[in-house]
Amino acid sequence: MINQRIHQLYDSILGQGSAGTERFFAALQERDIPPRPDPARHDYNLYAPNPVIVAGPLIQAMTADANTFCRRLQSRIPDAASLLDRAPAPIQQHYASAEVAGQLLADLRRAHPLVCLDAFLVDSGHGLQPAYLEWQTVGTYVTTGLLAVEAAADAWPAIHDYSTLTAWPGLDPAGLRQHLISLYTQGVEDDPRQGVIVDYRPEICATRREFWAIQELTGGTERGMGIIDPREIIQAEGGFHYRRDGVLLPIRRVYSRMVYSDLVQLEREASPAAIATIRRFFQTADQHTWISHILHFFYGSKADLPDFWAQGLSPHIPETVVVTPALIAEYRQHFGRRPIAGFVQKPLNAQSGRDVLLNPTPDQLAPAAILQREIVPAACHRTLFGPRTPEIRVMALPDASGQLICGLIYSRIKSPEAFLSNAGALARSAIPGTGESYGIVVY
């Protein structure tokens, strides 16, 4: 089920025992990446004690599917109105505009967006194959991932004999760093401070280390991209600015990490004047470019999987359908009050495993959610504590031609008997051998 080179690297890593894990955790801490939860510091992630090791051709196949999915979106979303229509009404009305949607679509005709594609690995009888859980046209943690895979290679130097540390042939960490710098600072190369990462309370949010890593990569705390809460945006002198080190800087490049739930919370907390400025900022297309906008979360998401499955775009998509009133009526007639065994219901506007329901009854089905056949993952990840089941996330970004390549893989590792694989569930369970990881890709 796992090729010989992967077996050999697992043998080398696990042969170091717990000493290897302690070296790895120490190397993470040297890079200011806490390996264990520390709520006092707003750190809730648990790192797995050894990295997942994955075969390169599998990652290439997943990346090829991600490109196929993006091409499908180009035909399904032909104009700005089509893109806006995919977002919830409050986003359409207050945090986007036809001008922004048009700009984003023009960008997406030239190059695919940042993409994450998540899969469990299943035993097909002819080796491991991916089975897709969800996907989204947004970035994740590839910049932090570079630090984490280098920490793993510090702990287990044999990794260098099997992998360049990135997920793509011919790409090394230096090349990936340069690729990311070009992406993040496009148009603000002369002063990366004019690019900003925007998120709700970024100083304490769970993904803040990715922001710090991006800032360090693009010039550090003095010259790198800014990290701001949207309430820090100032409209002045005919444009949008933020204050840094006592200087008012124009905003020309934006990486928004704002999700719908953040905006709901922000509306409760911010002053009317601040909300008005934030809304104008996200509705503006002619003063700054977008690495990622709120609309990217709705451009490509798990809401597309029923269409991709119906179109037969990939054999790796499990049966996935939209919950409709007609489907609920059909299942009520067939199942009564019994569970719909072997299926998982997922809401569309929730992240991190919230409200995901295994084996729902017909009365629990929610219109507009999706219903996906349960994936039975393979316990293919070896640990000092026995086999575990990894969720694999391809973290893809466009190359010079606009097509996606995979920079790195991120993974969450759970025990075979557990259902949820989100970070919070893993940290709370604290089962040995589980947690977050950045995978090593072997070609």
Domain segments of the chain as ranges = 4-302+377-442, 319-373
Residue 237 confidence (pLDDT):
85
At residue 338, does pLDDT exceed 80?
yes
Q: Can you tell me the distance from the alpha carbon of 287 to that of 306, in angstroms, rounded to the nearest whole number?
A: 37
Strands of the sheet containing 115-123, edge to edge, are 128-136, 115-123, 389-398, 404-414, 435-438
Phi, psi of 94 (to 5 degrees): -125, -25
**pLDDT tens digits for 352-384?**
556 799 999 999 999 989 999 999 999 999 999
Distances (CA, A) of 315 to 62, 130, 173, 320, 335: 11, 9, 32, 12, 28
Q: Are 173 and 165 in contact (CB under 8 A)?
A: yes
d(CA 407, CA 177): 10
User: Is the pLDDT at 392 greater than 80, yes or no?
Assistant: yes
Q: What is the pLDDT of residues 189-204, one digit of tens each?
A: 999 999 999 999 999 9
| Rounded-to-integer distance, Cα 44 and Cα 51, Å | 19
> For the purposes of burial, counting CB atoms within 10 Å of the CB of 312, is it exposed (0-12), middle (13-18) or buried (19 or more)?
exposed
* Res 427: pLDDT: 77
Q: Which token pair is 337?
A: 């009050």
Q: Which pLDDT score, from 0 to 100, does residue 350 have? A: 59
Check whether 41 has a pLDDT greater than 90.
Answer: no
Residues with Cβ within 8 Å of 62's Cβ and at least 6 positions away in sequence, in order, are: 117, 119, 130, 316, 392, 394, 406
pTM of the model: 0.95
- At 1, the pLDDT band (50, 70, 90 cuts) reads very low
Residues in the chain: 443
Least confident range of 118-127, 269-278, 287-296: 118-127
Cβ–Cβ < 8 Å for 243, 232: yes
Residue 258 φ/ψ, nearest 5 degrees: -70, 130
How far CA 413 is from CA of 52, 195, 416, 421, 439, in Å, comes to 8, 34, 9, 7, 11
Question: How far is Cα 75 from Cα 52, in angstroms, rounded to an integer?
Answer: 36
Is 253:194 a contact under the CB 8 Å cutoff? Answer: yes
Spatial distance between the Cα atoms of 120 and 131, rounded to a whole number of angstroms: 5
Q: Are strands 128-136 and 239-244 parallel, antiparallel or unpaired?
A: unpaired
Please determine, for residue 2, whether its predicted confidence score (pLDDT) is greater than 70: no
What are the residues whose beta carbons fall under 8 Å from the beta carbon of 330, sequence distance 6 or more?
Answer: none
pLDDT in tens, 275-286: 999 999 999 999
pLDDT score, position 75: 95
Q: How many degrees, rounded to 5, is the angle at CA 70 between CA 64 and CA 72?
A: 105
Q: 427 to each of 11, 120, 391, 412, 433, how far by Cα in Å? A: 26, 19, 15, 10, 11
DSSP code of residue 318: P
Would the pLDDT of 429 be above 60? yes
Task: Assess whether pLDDT exceeds 80 at residue 147.
Answer: yes
Residue 60 has pLDDT above 80, yes or no: yes
pLDDT score for 109? 96
